[in-house]
Amino acid sequence: FRDPERPIPGDPQLMVSPADGLVSDVEQLPHHDLLNGPCVRVGIFLSVFNVHVNRSPCEGKVTQIIYKKGKFINAMSHAAASSDNESNTLVLADPADRPIAVVKQIVGLIARRIICDAKIGDTYARGQRFGMIKFGSRTELYIPLWIEPNVQVKVGQKVRGGIDIIAKLSAVPAAAAQPGATA
């Protein structure tokens, strides 16, 4: 499994891609329970040829980890895969414990194994590795609208985890981690 070193952008206004792959959908949702309000979701499909390491999109403290058993529907069918497939969800928060990002690791038809090294209370720097999904899958990033995300990617665009910018934030939450911090 490839795991290249990457130059991570340092600007606190940026949310980077949590995965390598193809942007399959960008959608504004009226409410997400884990974010306590409206958000934007960016879905990324990982083929068997992509790097499968998942990275933190921003600085934040892990406040929840939710593992869900489920099916192994083809991850290209993003609506069904998102709701029905086996998944692991991380909630990242700022120092005031306000949720600022949700990253959901979703298995696919071939990918059957999620690895997540994160633990509740761990603090991650932007671009820091927290796990992987073996072989091919889907990763979703949910960003609350209260931090005013200006999405920088379009459906069909290829992205690289930790490098490519998913959104630029107008309302920057206080950083929970210093660059180079370890979990």
For the record, the structure tokens of 18 come out as 């949590």
Q: CA 92: distance to chain centroid? A: 10
In what helix (H) or strand (E) does residue 150 lie, and over which residues does it extend? Answer: strand 149-151
- Residue from 66, 56, 74, 88 nearest 135 by CA: 74
In what helix (H) or strand (E) does residue 57 lie, and over which residues does it extend? Answer: none
Residue 14 forms beta bridges with which residues?
168
> For the residues of 5-40, what is the DSSP string, one character each?
-------TTEEE-SSSEEEEEEEEEEEEGGGTEEEE
Q: Catalytic: which of 17, 24, 56, 137?
A: 137
Is 77 among the residues known to form the active site? no
Query: How big is the chain by its Cα radius of gyration, in Å?
Result: 14
Name the E strands within 56-173.
Answer: 60-68, 87-93, 99-107, 113-116, 123-124, 129-134, 137-144, 149-151, 158-159, 165-169
Catalytic residues: 137
